[in-house]
Chains A and B, each alone.
Chain A
Amino acid sequence: MNGVHDMGGMQDMGPIRHERHEPAFHEPWEGRVYALSRVLRTRRGPWNLDAFRHAIESLPPVDYLRMSYYERWFTWMLTTVVAAGDVTQAEIESGSPAAGSPRKAVLVAPEAVSSMVDRRASARRDVAAAPRFKSGQRVRARNIHPSGHTRLPRYVRGKSGVVVVDRGVFLFPDTNAHLRGEKPQHLYSVRFAAREIWGEQASQRDFIHLDMWDDYLLPV
């Protein structure tokens, strides 16, 4: 989706506001949103990490830019708890469980937190898939503009680079985000000259490395 989240190369977004001694959370509610979302995401439901990202990037552009990071997450949570059947919209509106509604099982007990945090949630898939490209090969990023989720940034579409290394087989976010299967395929680290992407204004000594799936690439 050509959304505002796809920011690479945009200009005039203002100065970078670096903060010394930055805390993990600036306000308690941010920590609560983070913790709640971690707990909710352990649950099987109509989402996965890619669907979560897609939901965030699908916020109306003005809201995406206006909201702070954890405010976006909170907004995701409000719709997701209803979509997953955890609570009803009426309960969200009333602020309390509907009369007679069954008490649900706790998602993460306090004792389970450390194993939840340490859990290995990898997108790597141990399946056989033939790589379409090999190290050293020249490739071009496809010039595609899918309306759904993609991890192919706009700034690199249509540009050519070189495969540096094959990272192995990973699930494909473009389908996974829409619950249309994992479509596991090879992922490569691809190196692009900054001049190929930005033209003469870029330094000849600058390069951008992106991780790209088979479905994003064409041979040159």
Chain B
Amino acid sequence: MAKSQDSVGRRGFLKTAATGAAGLVAGAKPGDVHAHQAADHQAVPSDLTLRVKALESLLVDKGLVDRAALDRIVDTFETKIGPRNGARVVARAWVDPAYKKRLLAEASTAMEELGYHRHQGEDIIALENTAKIHNLVVCTLCSCYPWPLLGLPPVWYKSAPYRSRAVIDPRGVLKEFGVDIDADVEVRVWDSTAEIRYIVLPERPAGSERLNEEALAALVTRDSMIGTAKVTLDVAEVPA
């Protein structure tokens, strides 16, 4: 596929892009290897940018797709559904023992109390981390994740290194995330093999007694709700 489409008109661009797309279906072509990685950003429109545009345009021209609907879906996951939702649930559980009890008994209902709908959260289970038990969530087969509470999963969660190692070497994985688990602490790895979704209720950090619910929620990171981090008073990672 040509990298530069500058001299090609709209027709030609669509044809090239869609043909490339069709070529992809037929099988990978030598030289068609994409450099796209989690942290790599390309300065010129990538092959995929063009091919996705071509498919979107075709579906819009056919009448099936309304661009404004796509914009809204993207906006929903960029600005509305994300780990802040889960953080509010965690903070509420920390300050309200009755809520915590409901959360651990039936998380799907407890999250709805705070206005978070279910979709993939129809069957969400909250797992409590304690001084004796550390829970870690993975989906070895694909990317199952509690979307209504945490948003879309981060790239590392969907990646081969995490999916492969979380089950065989959870303590090593945790160490890689900077979390040292004492030898006498039980590690429970939850492989999301069905439509049950898991969220970790991390331990409330020592020294946070005077913080209110809102301040507590600000401490809760996405990783702490997957189980790959503990919550500390210094926020090391502020999720988007």
Contacts and interface: CB of A to CB of B under 8 A. Distances in A.
Kindly name the residue among A10, A65, A112 whose own CB sees the greatest number of chain B CB atoms within 10 A: A10
Contacts of A123: 122, 194-195
Contacts of A194: 170, 187, 189
Nearest to B39: A19
B191 A19 contact: no
Contacts of B195: 122-124, 170
B14 interface: yes
Nearest to A105: B63
Contacts of A173: 194
Contact of B38 (A10, A11, A19): A19
A71 B22 contact: no
A78 interface: yes
Nearest to B163: A7
Interface string B66-100: 10111111101110011000000000000000000
Contacts of A6: 140-141
B169 to A, nearest CB: 8
A39 B227 CA distance: 31
A181 interface: no
A110 B143 contact: no
A78 B143 contact: no
A207 B188 contact: yes
How many chain A residues sit at the interface, stated as a range, is: 35 or more
A97 B54 CA distance: 12
A14 to B, nearest CB: 5
Contact of B191 (A20, A96, A209): A209
A105 B54 CA distance: 19
B76 A16 contact: no
Contacts of A210: 191, 193
Interface in A107-159: 107-110, 112-114, 116-124, 151-153, 155
B213 interface: no
A8 interface: yes
A206 interface: yes
A19 B65 contact: no
How many chain B residues sit at the interface, stated as a range, is: 35 or more
Interface in B38-60: 38-39, 41-42, 46, 48-49, 51-59
A105 B64 CA distance: 6
Contacts of A198: 168
B131 interface: no
Contact of A118 (B117, B167, B191): B117
B238 A155 contact: no
B240 A97 contact: no
Interface in B108-157: 117-120, 122-123, 138, 140-143, 151-152, 154-156
Kindly name the residue among A15, A29, A60, A152 whose own CB sees the greatest number of chain B CB atoms within 10 A: A29
A56 interface: yes
Interface in A8-26: 8-11, 13-26
A28 B56 CA distance: 13
Given A6-B140, A71-B34, A78-B55, A206 B187 contact: yes
A35 to B, nearest CB: 4
B178 to A, nearest CB: 9
B102 interface: no
Given A39-B69, A93-B15, A211-B196, A13 B63 contact: no
24 contacts: A8-B167, A9-B164, A16-B177, A21-B240, A25-B74, A25-B77, A27-B36, A27-B41, A36-B56, A63-B28, A75-B25, A86-B59, A96-B14, A103-B63, A105-B63, A105-B64, A110-B69, A117-B76, A120-B117, A155-B167, A189-B196, A203-B187, A206-B187, A211-B194
Interface of B: 11, 14-15, 17-19, 21-22, 24-25, 27-28, 33-34, 36-39, 41-42, 46, 48-49, 51-59, 61-66, 68-74, 76-78, 81-82, 117-120, 122-123, 138, 140-143, 151-152, 154-156, 158-168, 170-171, 173, 176-177, 183-196, 223, 237-240
Given A35-B70, A81-B55, A117-B119, 4 more contacts: A11-B164, A93-B19, A113-B72, A205-B183
